[in-house]
Amino acid sequence: MNQYVLLKTDLNRWVEMARKKYRVYAPERVQEDIFFAPLLGPPESEFLTGLAVLPYLPPKDLVFPQSEILFSYSREGEKIALTVPDQETEASVLLGIRSCDTVGISWMDKFFRENFNDTYYGRRRDNLITVTIACNRPIKNCFCVCCEGGPFLDPGKNSFDLQLIDMNDRYLVECNSDQGETLINLDPALFSAPPPDMEAMRNRLEEEARSMFLPEPTSYMGTAIRRITADSVPSEVWTELGERCFDDGGCTFVCPCCSCFGVGYLAHGSGGCHYRFWDSCDYSGFTREVSGHNPRGEKGERFKRRFFHKLSYQYVKKDGRIGCVGCGRCITACPGEVGMPTVVETIRRSDTGDSSKE
Amino acid sequence: MTNIYLPHLARIITIQDDTYDTKTFGLELVDAEARNTFRFRPGQFLEIAVLGVGEAPFGLASNPNHPEAFFVTIRAVGSVTDALHKLSPGDIVGVRGPFGNGFPFDEIKGKNVLFVAGGIGLPPLRSLIEPMLDARSEFGDVQILYGARSPADLVYKNRLKEWETMQDVRFMMTVDVGDSGWSGNVGVVTTIFPKADIIVDNTVAFVCGPPIMIRFAIMELLRLGFAPANIISTLERYMKCGVGKCGHCAIGHKYVCLDGPVFSYREMMKLPERVV
């Protein structure tokens, strides 16, 4: 890992250089919400500080779009031609992503690229460079510390390109990949070597940030993980939680670690296409079979499924971590107020201490 | 790099009417290289697409020793299967796969084998029965018990007659409801268990059919003394990608498309949902 210092007054110049070569995405206010959007001018500086900013949607659609064509077909007489959409995508930079979303992309990297490589994901991912901003101060719904999702990325543990750490009038820049160096090299004169005391200051900022969460937050998920793994959460608890679910799929669409998709088919004239789109395990149709039989026809069963996937040790073993990065978007999106923290808390409270099943 | 979602084109070579709602499609991959390198194991499945209409998983039904002439047996039950039934020889479909773990074969050499099939559950088992008959001397007793709703629902009628006459295969069949031309057994498949002289010792049982039939067959096999690890069945789930990405067929941390469709009853019992 290399470290540099970038003065905030030089940020726009660096971004301007990047915009000449890349499509640069950054958080942008759209009426009352914030979204990642392609920059047409300088970035909105208020979203590039140590204060956490959470765009309504994670940037997962840059690597896993809401819908995309898998292939098109066309018939000409006896002949059928299959065409895969252009494999070239524009080289992009994602500026102002937070550590939680960066960890979410790492989760997707492993899921989509290992054990049957998804080249649609891969071609977008290979063209994306991330510039994360560490969070010196969390906001209301943040719980990344409980999920190893932040508030700072750990260069020894997390995979990322660049991480900016807000130090008032400057950023400490941590570069963790060759792609990150490419961005530094856009204008190396803007980046200077950090003074010796900067590492200590960085670590102090991270400690302060962590202390702003609940006391002993890292053990918070433990009970839920243990009980879901052992399948010892009473079915009434799942039913109760399921009753509060509106089947809207919102939590899954805003989740940086939700990757399920459906496939649709279009025919028009002599051609058509097969395309995929975000799907949700919240929906009863997700598992409904052609006979009408539905193995997860009950809301409680779907609820159990979703959280088994997110939190069970069986999946931690498979995916390398839990399927939650603590961004808190499901709290905002859920009209029934059954986002991740509520579920974890409900499971903790339902623990009567009977561990006979575990 | 392989595109896991892009099908090979395959031509329908033969279509055989098995029953009033079931047809067997013989297929051939159009691309010569893909055709020459196509191999599969018993119990694996294909994702077959009617372009622009839909794609669904189907168990390979043919003998893996003859991968050049593979076939699938398909009952018309929904939009994709209805569209498939409307196709004719020479028509083109999309084919991805083979996918899935498949049945054990080399691992059970020397053992006795019992097949319990219900209705349209026979086709996937046939992909295991045929190569076993090719290597008959490497297995112990081979017994096939087949049940269908009615005589009209029996698939592969010509092949069934051959199995009936084979000296080294013990074959019995039954129908839930007979008709005027039927003089054989009547009753669900488990009703012929008592007269089938089932060997339990050193036997692996393969069970395939509708979910309710699988449930009762497994209960009966357990009662006879089969160990859960020696009862092997297949699970079906709504499925899209076939390669563990779309998420639809997940049960617990297992994916029917990757970790299945073949599971022992022992493995099924460990899943966090009731599956049989």
The string of pLDDT tens digits covering residues B199-250 is: 999 999 999 999 999 999 999 999 999 999 999 999 999 999 999 999 999 9
Q: Is B209 left (phi over 0), alpha (psi -120 to 50) or beta?
A: left
- In the predicted model, is pLDDT for residue B64 greater than 90? yes
Is the Cβ pair B51, A287 closer than 8 Å?
Answer: no
Report pLDDT digits (tens) over B149-184. Answer: 999 999 999 999 999 999 999 999 999 999 999 999
The pLDDT of residue A354 is above 60: no
Q: Work out the average pLDDT over A179-188.
A: 97
A272 vs B contacts (CB less than 8 Å): 51-52
Q: What integer is the mean pLDDT of B117-126?
A: 97
Cβ contact A289–B253 (<8 Å)? no
Distance (Å, whole) CA A156 – CA A166 = 20
Considering only the beta carbons, identify the residue of A116, A291, A317 that sits closest to B243.
A116
At B154, which amino acid appears? Answer: L
The pLDDT of residue A154: 96
**Under a CB-based contact definition with an 8 Å cutoff, are residues A98 and A130 in contact?**
no
Cβ–Cβ below 8 Å for A304 and B2: no
Interface touch A272/B258, C-beta < 8 Å? no
Q: Do B246 and A84 touch (CB under 8 A)?
A: no
pLDDT attached to residue A353: 60
Q: How far is B216 from chain A (nearest CA, A)?
A: 18
Evaluate the omega torsion of the peptide bond into residue A155 and state whether it is cis, within 30 degrees of 0: no
Nearest chain A CA: its distance from B9 CA (Å): 8
Reported confidence tier of residue A55, pLDDT bands at 50, 70, 90? very high
Gap from A56 CA to chain B (nearest CA, Å): 24
Mean pLDDT on A39-46: 95
At residue A358 the predicted structure's pLDDT band, cuts being 50, 70 and 90, is very low
Strand order in the sheet with B185-186: B185-186, B170-175, B142-148, B112-118, B203-208, B231-234, B262-264
Q: Rounded to whole angstroms, how far apart are CA atoms A252 and A246? A: 12
Note the pLDDT of residue A215: 64
Q: Write the pLDDT tens digit of every residue in B2-56.
A: 999 999 999 999 999 999 999 999 999 999 999 999 999 999 999 999 999 999 9
Examine the pLDDT at A217 and tell me if it is beyond 80: no
Q: Give pLDDT, residue A77.
A: 83
> Using CA atoms, how far apart are residues B209 and B227, in angstroms rounded to an integer?
20
Closest CA to B117 of B64, B81, B159: B159
| pLDDT score at A161 | 98
- A277 contacts on B by Cβ (under 8 Å): none
Which residue is listed with tokens 């809401």? Answer: A66
Residue in B with minimal Cα distance to A113 = B245
Query: How confident is the model over A277-296, as pLDDT tens digits?
Result: 999 999 999 999 988 889 99
Whether B101 and B259 have beta carbons less than 8 Å apart is answered as yes
In chain A, residues with a C-beta closer than 8 Å to the C-beta of B54 are 265
**Across the interface, do A295 and B251 touch by the CB < 8 Å criterion?**
yes
What pLDDT, on the 0 to 100 scale, is given for residue A40?
95
> What is the identity of the amino acid at A331?
I
**Cα–Cα distance for residue pair B152/B184, rounded to 1 Å:** 13
Chain B residues whose CB is inside 8 A of the A273 CB are 52
Q: Which of B21, B245, B256, B269 to mutate to test the interface with A (most CBs of A within 10 A)?
A: B245
Longest dimension (CA), chain A: 73
Q: State the DSSP code for A51.
A: B
Per-residue CA distances from B171 to B160, B195, B198 (Å): 8, 12, 11
φ, ψ for residue B157, nearest 5 deg: -55, -40
Structure tokens belonging to residue A312: 């069970």
DSSP 8-class letter at A330: H
Q: Which of A61, A110, A147, A133 minimizes the C-alpha distance to A339? A: A147
B267: which chain A residues are within 8 Å (Cβ-Cβ)? none
CA distances from B84 to A18, A303, B63 (A): 52, 35, 22
Q: What percent of chain B has pLDDT over 90?
A: 96
Size of chain B in residues: 276
Host H or E run for residue A192:
strand A191-192
Mutate which: B93, B251, B253, vs A, most A CBs within 10 A: B253
Q: How far apart are CA B207 and CA B197, in angstroms?
A: 17
Rounded Cα–Cα distance for residues B102 and A276 (Å):
27
Contact residues, chain A, for B258 at CB < 8 Å: 115
* Domains delineated in chain B: 8-99 (2.40.30.10), 106-234 (3.40.50.80)
Distance of alpha carbon B230 from the chain centroid: 18
Contact A290 B241 (CB under 8 A): no
Taking CA atoms, B201 is separated from B79, B139, B140, B225, B230, in Å, by 44, 14, 11, 9, 10
For residue A213, pLDDT beyond 90: no
Residues of B with CB under 8 A from a CB of A: 1-7, 9, 49, 51-55, 77-78, 81, 92, 94, 211, 236-238, 240-241, 243-248, 250-253, 258, 272-273, 275
pLDDT at A220 over 90: no
DSSP B92-115: EEEEEEEES-----GGGTTSEEEE
Which of A73, A119, A288 minimises the CB distance to B1? A119
Q: What is the pLDDT of residue A218?
A: 59
Size of interface A-B (CB pairs under 8 A): 114
Q: Which of B2, B79, B239, B246 to mutate to test the interface with A (most CBs of A within 10 A)?
A: B246
In this prediction, residue A351 carries a pLDDT of 75
The one-letter code for the residue type at A81 is A
Determine if the peptide bond prior to A42 is cis (ω within 30°). no
| Partners of residue A296 in chain B, C-beta under 8 Å | 273
User: Chain-wide mean pLDDT for chain A?
Assistant: 93
Of the candidates A73, A262, A318, the beta carbon closest to that of B253 is on A318
Contacts for B195 with CB less than 8 Å, ≥ 6 apart: B172
Contact B250 A116 (CB under 8 A): no
Identify the closest residue of chain A to B212 by CA–CA distance: A293
User: Among A168, A280, A309, A15, which Cα is nearest to B253's?
Assistant: A309
Mark B1-12 as b/e (b = at least 16 C-beta within 10 Å): eebbbebbbbeb
> Residue A82 and residue B7: Cβ atoms within 8 Å?
yes
pTM (predicted TM-score): 0.94
pLDDT band at residue A216, thresholds of 50, 70 and 90?
A: low
- Closest by Cβ to B77, choosing from A263, A272, A290: A290
Query: Quick one: CA torsion of A58, A161, A1, A183, rounded to 10 degrees?
Result: -140
pLDDT tens digit sequence for A111-151: 999 999 999 999 999 999 999 999 999 998 999 999 999 99
Residue B171 class from Cβ within 10 Å (0-12 exposed, 13-18 middle, 19+ buried)?
A: middle
* Chain A residue numbers touching B2 (CB-CB < 8 A): 117, 119
- Other residues' Cβ atoms within 10 Å of the Cβ of residue A266: 13
- For residue A48, CA distances in Å to A45, A97, A172 come to 5, 9, 13
Distance of CA B95 to the CA centre of its chain: 18
**CB distance A279–B243 less than 8 Å?**
no
Residue A248 structure tokens: 């809207």
Band of residue A50 on the pLDDT scale cut at 50, 70, 90: very high
pLDDT tens digits, B74-116 = 999 999 999 999 999 999 999 999 999 999 999 999 999 999 9
pLDDT at residue B128 in the model: 98
Sign of the dihedral defined by the CA atoms of residues B225, B228, B233, B239, in that order: positive
Distance from CA of B87 to the nearest CA of A (A): 14
Distance from CA of A103 to the nearest CA of B (A): 19
Tell me the shortest Cα–Cα distance from B110 to chain A, in angstroms: 33
**What does the alpha-carbon distance between residue A205 and residue A151 come to, in Å, rounded to a whole number?**
10
CA–CA distance, B113 with B105 (Å, rounded to integer): 11
Global ipTM: 0.93
> Which residues from chain A sit within 8 angstroms of residue B53, using beta carbons?
265, 267
Task: Report the distance separating Cα B25 and Cα B71, nearest Å.
Answer: 5
Across A178-198, average pLDDT:
96
Length of chain A: 358
Q: Once rounded to an integer, what is the mean pLDDT over residues A254-264?
A: 97
How far does the CA of residue A314 sit from the closest CA of chain B (Å)? 6
CA proximity to B274, closest of B235, B225, B229: B235
